[in-house]
Amino acid sequence: MNFCTRCNLATQSDTCPKCGAQNLRQAQEGDFCFVAELDLLYAKMLQNTLQQQSVPCVLQPMGSTAIALYSISAQKARIYVPYEYYDIAMELKDTYYSID
Ligand SMILES: [Zn+2]
């Protein structure tokens, strides 16, 4: 698996499907890999699911937190997991959240 350090994206491809970077390196343990971008509510549910499976993960809220105070549904969040948990995380995501 290759890894784009700019996007934190693991990919089978030689180029990053997101930013088009071609100087990808091998993904390695400890690389935080992008799993999904979801509405904050769903992101938190996925985070809970991952934690129940003992998968460490990072939830990164997108956009302004000031806006989120008024409209939580307007906020998105991204979920990242270390590369060694990437396959498990993608499987869990597909099982529970096939809304991508
Ligand atoms: Zn990229």
Please state the domain extents for the chain.
30-96
pLDDT digits (tens, 9 = 90+) for 53-75: 999 999 998 876 555 555 555 68
Q: What pLDDT was estimated at residue 40?
A: 87
Cα of 28 vs centre of ligand 1, distance in Å, is: 16
d(CA 8, CA 65): 22
pLDDT given at position 6: 95
Amino acid 56: pLDDT: 97
> How much distance in Å is there from the Cα of 83 to the middle of ligand 1?
16
The CA 15 to ligand 1 mean position distance, Å, reads 8
List the beta bridge partners of residue 9: 4
Distance from residue 70's CA to the centre of ligand 1 (Å):
32
Q: Which segments in the chain show pLDDT lower than 70?
A: 64-74, 97-100
3 Cβ neighbours under 8 A, 6+ residues apart? 9, 10, 11, 24, 25, 26, 27, 28, 31, 33, 83
Residue 18 tokens, joined: 């997101």
22 CA → ligand 1 middle, Å? 9
